[in-house]
C-alpha cells in the first residue's frame, strides 16, 4: 500500500531552514534563466555582428542582384537642321512593350493577348503572336527543364504612333486592381526615343534613318550617329521579390548628356523646288527612276539632293540613293572633258576644224562610231553645242588609250584593291561627301589601262560609270576660274574653305569649253528647254542607252512583265547659272523606256531650268541676258 504524497512540510524541519532552502532554489532557477537569456542575447549579438561586419558585403551583393538591376538609358538624340535652322529631324517620344509571362501574373493568356492587341492594333501586334510568345516562354517550365519562367519577354519594337503611345501610357497609369481586372497585368510599357522627320519624304535620302534594334543607320543619321546619339546613361531599377520592376532607384537627366545638333548644307527651300521639278518630270514622262542634285560651285556645298523612287522615313524603309549609289554612263555630259584634255595636251587648237562625219571607223577599233547629231566638220564649240559622238571619238583617238586613262584616273581618282582568294577585285572611290555607302568611278575590273575601244567610247562618255554626284562635282570645274573639281559636302561648317580636287584641264583653254557649253544651251541640244529664260546658263545634255531588267515597280508603272529585258534611255542634263557669274549647278537624270523617243534636253532640261529659275529668284539674282555678250568672262578671269 502506497503512502500519500506529502502536502505539508514535516514539523521536524525548522521553519528557518525551510525558508533558506526555498530561496536558494528560487535563486538558482533565476540564475539559470538569466544565464540562458544572457547567452541568447550574446548569440544574437554575435550573429548580428557577423552579418554586419563579416558577411555584410556578400549579403549586400545578393540583395543588389535580387532587388536592383542596372539599365542603360540612351541619351536624347540631337536634332538635324538645314543651313537656315529649319528642323529636318528631331527626337520623338515612343514606347516599346514587354511582358512577364509567369503563370501567376498572366492567368488568362487569351484575354491578355486580345487586350494588348486592342491597345496596339492587330496590324502591329496580333493576339496570335502574343499567345505564341507566352507559350514559348512557359514551355521549358512545363517540360521540367527550368524552375521558373524568365522575367521579361520583349513584345514589340519601337511604337511611334502618337495615338497608340498615349493609349498605352493611359493603361500603364491605372491601378493594380484595374489592370488585373482589365487583363493587362504583366504588361510593361517602356519609354524609348524615336525619330520624327517633319518634312516626310523631302530630303529623305539625305537624312536616311536613325539606327534602331541593331539595324545600322542610313544617310546622315548613320554618318553622324556618333555625334547625334550623345552619351549613354546608366540607372538603377528597383524590383520586388518576383523580379517585377517597381521604380527607378536613382534620378537621371537624359538632357544632361544629349547628343549634339548637326547643321547640314541642305537648303529646305531649294530642296522643295528640286523635289517638285523632279516629280513633275516623272509624272509627265513616266520615268522609271530619277535623281537630282543642286551644288554650290564656289564652296562645293550640296544645297539639295533627291532620288526616285523615294520614301517617307517616318514609316518606310530607305530606298537606293541614286545620286551617290547609282552608277551610270555619263554619256555626252563627258564630252567637255574630252575637249578640255585635247586642248591641254596640245592636240588641237581652239579654231581647228574637227572631223565630225555621220559615221567613222577608227584604227584599232572594229566597231564604227555613229553620230545621232550630224554636224559635219566644225570647231570644238560646234562639237559641244551639237554633241558630236564622232568628233569626240576622234579626239579620244588622238589622245590615245594611255593619256585617256591617265586623265580619267586624275579627274575620277579611285583606289585599286587587289582581290583576295575567291573574291572579286574592288574599286573604292567616290566624292566622300559624307553619306555612307557611296560608290564611285567604275571601269573594267583590272588595272592595266584602257584599250583603244575603251578610249574611243570614253571620249563620248561610254564604257565606264560614275555617280551623278561625281559628274556634278567634276562638271563644276568648268564654272571655276581654277578649273578644279569641288569636293561636295553635306555638313555645314561656316567659314570653312572649299575642299578642291584635281584640275580637269589647263585654265588657258577654259574659255573654249565654256563657250561651247553656253552655245549648247543657247543654240544647241538644250535650246528649247531654255527659250525665254531670264538667266543665261551653260550646260550639256546627254542621252545614253542601256538595258534594264523589269522589276515589280517598273512592271506596275508601265504595264510590263517582271523579268523582261527592256531598252532604256538615260536622259541627263547638267548646267550651271548664271553663265557669266556661276553660283549654282543643277544636275537631273531620268531613265526612260527607249520606245518613248525622249532625250536629255527634252526630259531633264525643263526640270533643270525650273530649279535654276527658282534658285535665282530665291537668292534675288537679277536676270543677266543684258550682259550675256560680255567677251571677257570666257577667258576665265572673272569667275570666283
The mean pLDDT value for 103-119 works out to 88
Q: Which residue has the higher pLDDT, 53 or 254?
A: 53
Sign of CA dihedral 140, 145, 147, 153: negative
Tell me, what's the pLDDT at 257?
Answer: 64
Q: Is residue 72 pLDDT above 70, yes or no?
A: no
Q: Is residue 589 pLDDT above 90, yes or no?
A: yes
621: pLDDT confidence band, cut at 50, 70 and 90? very high
Domains annotated for the chain, with CATH where assigned, are 69-263 (3.90.1310.10), 270-312+320-417+426-635 (3.40.710.10)
Q: Which residue has the higher pLDDT, 139 or 576?
A: 576
Q: Where are the alpha helices (DSSP H) in 314-467?
A: 322-325, 335-344, 380-386, 389-411, 452-459
The mean pLDDT value for 243-272 works out to 73
The mean pLDDT value for 564-593 works out to 94
pLDDT tens, position by position, 445-465 = 445 678 899 899 999 999 889
Three-state SS at 517: helix
Distances (CA, A) of 124 to 91, 157, 208: 22, 10, 23
> Any bridge partners for residue 586, and if so which?
294, 575
**What residues contact 186, with CB distance under 8 A and at least 6 apart?**
99, 100, 101, 102, 105, 106, 112
What's the alpha-carbon Rg for the chain, to the nearest Å? 40
422: pLDDT confidence band, cut at 50, 70 and 90? low
Among 202-216, 242-256, 351-365, 583-597, whose mean pLDDT is lowest?
A: 242-256
Cα–Cα distance, 386 to 384 (Å, whole number): 6
CA trace torsion 382, 388, 392, 394 (10° rounding): -100
Q: What is the DSSP letter of 332?
A: G
Q: Is residue 241 pLDDT above 60, yes or no?
A: no
**What residues contact 32, with CB distance under 8 A and at least 6 apart?**
none
> Any bridge partners for residue 14, and if so which?
none
Q: Is residue 635 pLDDT above 50, yes or no?
A: no
Q: For residue 70, give the nearest of 296, 238, 317 by alpha carbon.
A: 238
Long-range contacts of 557-564 (CB under 8 A, 24+ apart): 557/286, 557/288, 558/286, 558/288, 558/593
How would DSSP label each residue in 435-468? -TT----B-SS-SS---HHHHHHHHTT-SSBB-H
Cα–Cα distance, 440 to 410 (Å, whole number): 13
Tell me, what's the pLDDT at 555?
Answer: 85
The mean pLDDT value for 20-31 works out to 80
Tell me, what's the pLDDT at 636?
Answer: 42
61: pLDDT confidence band, cut at 50, 70 and 90? confident
H or E segment to which residue 415 belongs: strand 414-417
Supply 214's cell numbers. 541593331
The mean pLDDT value for 510-520 works out to 95
pLDDT tens, position by position, 280-322 = 999 999 999 999 999 999 999 999 999 999 999 988 888 899 9
**Average confidence score pLDDT of the chain:** 84
pLDDT tens, position by position, 519-562 = 999 999 899 999 989 999 999 999 998 888 888 888 888 888 88
Cα–Cα distance, 186 to 179 (Å, whole number): 9
269: preceding bond cis by omega (within 30 degrees): no
Tell me, what's the pLDDT at 628?
Answer: 44
Cα–Cα distance, 154 to 133 (Å, whole number): 9
Cα–Cα distance, 380 to 341 (Å, whole number): 12
6: pLDDT confidence band, cut at 50, 70 and 90? low
Cα–Cα distance, 430 to 465 (Å, whole number): 12
Strand order, beta sheet including 68-73: 68-73, 233-239, 245-248
Amino acid at each position: 500500500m502506497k503512502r500519500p504524497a506529502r502536502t505539508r512540510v514535516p514539523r521536524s524541519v525548522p521553519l528557518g531552514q525551510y525558508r533558506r532552502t526555498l530561496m536558494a532554489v528560487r535563486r538558482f532557477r533565476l540564475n539559470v534563466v538569466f544565464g540562458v537569456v544572457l547567452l541568447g542575447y550574446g548569440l544574437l549579438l554575435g550573429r548580428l555582428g557577423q552579418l554586419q561586419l563579416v558577411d555584410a558585403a556578400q549579403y549586400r551583393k545578393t540583395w543588389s542582384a535580387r532587388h536592383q538591376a542596372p539599365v542603360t538609358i540612351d541619351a536624347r538624340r540631337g536634332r538635324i537642321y538645314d543651313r537656315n535652322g529649319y528642323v529636318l529631324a528631331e527626337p520623338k517620344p515612343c514606347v516599346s512593350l514587354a511582358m512577364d509571362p509567369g503563370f501567376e501574373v498572366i492567368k488568362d493568356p487569351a484575354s491578355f493577348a486580345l487586350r494588348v492587341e486592342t491597345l496596339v492594333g492587330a496590324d502591329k501586334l496580333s493576339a496570335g503572336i502574343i499567345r505564341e510568345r507566352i507559350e514559348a516562354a512557359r514551355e521549358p517550365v512545363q517540360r521540367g527543364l527550368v524552375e521558373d519562367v524568365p522575367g521579361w519577354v520583349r513584345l514589340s519594337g519601337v511604337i511611334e504612333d502618337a495615338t497608340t503611345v498615349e493609349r498605352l501610357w493611359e493603361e500603364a497609369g491605372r491601378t493594380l486592381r484595374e489592370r488585373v481586372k482589365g487583363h493587362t497585368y504583366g504588361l510593361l510599357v517602356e519609354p524609348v526615343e524615336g525619330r520624327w522627320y517633319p518634312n516626310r519624304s523631302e530630303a529623305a535620302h539625305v537624312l536616311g534613318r536613325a539606327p534602331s534594334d541593331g539595324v545600322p543607320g542610313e544617310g546622315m543619321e548613320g554618318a553622324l550617329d556618333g555625334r547625334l546619339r550623345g552619351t549613354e546613361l546608366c540607372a538603377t531599377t528597383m524590383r520586388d521579390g518576383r523580379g517585377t520592376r517597381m521604380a527607378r532607384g536613382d534620378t537621371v537627366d537624359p538632357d544632361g548628356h544629349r547628343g549634339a545638333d548637326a547643321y547640314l548644307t541642305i537648303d529646305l527651300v531649294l530642296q522643295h523646288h528640286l523635289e517638285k521639278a523632279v516629280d513633275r518630270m516623272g509624272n509627265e514622262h513616266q520615268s522609271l527612276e530619277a535623281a537630282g542634285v543642286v551644288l554650290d560651285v564656289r564652296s562645293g556645298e550640296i544645297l539639295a539632293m533627291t532620288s526616285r523612287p523615294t520614301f517617307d522615313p517616318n514609316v518606310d524603309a530607305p530606298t537606293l540613293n541614286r545620286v551617290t549609289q547609282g552608277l551610270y554612263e555619263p554619256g555626252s555630259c563627258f564630252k567637255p572633258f574630252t575637249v578640255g584634255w585635247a586642248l591641254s595636251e596640245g592636240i588641237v587648237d581652239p579654231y581647228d576644224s574637227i572631223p565630225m562625219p555621220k559615221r567613222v571607223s577608227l584604227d584599232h577599233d572594229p566597231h564604227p562610231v555613229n553620230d545621232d547629231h550630224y554636224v559635219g566638220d566644225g570647231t570644238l564649240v560646234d562639237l559641244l553645242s551639237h554633241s558630236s559622238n564622232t568628233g569626240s571619238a576622234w579626239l579620244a583617238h588622238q589622245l590615245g588609250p594611255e593619256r585617256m586613262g591617265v586623265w580619267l584616273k586624275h579627274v575620277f581618282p579611285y583606289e585599286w584593291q587587289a582581290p583576295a582568294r575567291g573574291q572579286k577585285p574592288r574599286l573604292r572611290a567616290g566624292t566622300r561627301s559624307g553619306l555612307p555607302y557611296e560608290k564611285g568611278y567604275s571601269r573594267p575590273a583590272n588595272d592595266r589601262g584602257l584599250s583603244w575601244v575603251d578610249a574611243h567610247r570614253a571620249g563620248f562618255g561610254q564604257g565606264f560609270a560614275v555617280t551623278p554626284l561625281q559628274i556634278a562635282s567634276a562638271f563644276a570645274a568648268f564654272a571655276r576660274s581654277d578649273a578644279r573639281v569641288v569636293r561636295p559636302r553635306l555638313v555645314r561648317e561656316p567659314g570653312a574653305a572649299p575642299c578642291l580636287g584635281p584640275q580637269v584641264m589647263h585654265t588657258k583653254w577654259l574659255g573654249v569649253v565654256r563657250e561651247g557649253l553656253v552655245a549648247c544651251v543657247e543654240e544647241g541640244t538644250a535650246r528649247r528647254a531654255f527659250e525665254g529664260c531670264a538667266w543665261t546658263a551653260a550646260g550639256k545634255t546627254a542621252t545614253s542607252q542601256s538595258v534594264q531588267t523589269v522589276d515589280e515597280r517598273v512592271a506596275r508603272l508601265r504595264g510590263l512583265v517582271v523579268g523582261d529585258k527592256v531598252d532604256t534611255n538615260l536622259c541627263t542634263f547638267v548646267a550651271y547659272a548664271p553663265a557669266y557669274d556661276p553660283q549654282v549647278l543643277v544636275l537631273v537624270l531620268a531613265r526612260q523606256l527607249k520606245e518613248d523617243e525622249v532625250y536629255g534636253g527634252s526630259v531633264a532640261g525643263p526640270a533643270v531650268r525650273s530649279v535654276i529659275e527658282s534658285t535665282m529668284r530665291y537668292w534675288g539674282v537679277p536676270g543677266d541676258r543684258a550682259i550675256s555678250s560680255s567677251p571677257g568672262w570666257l577667258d576665265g578671269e572673272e569667275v570666283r
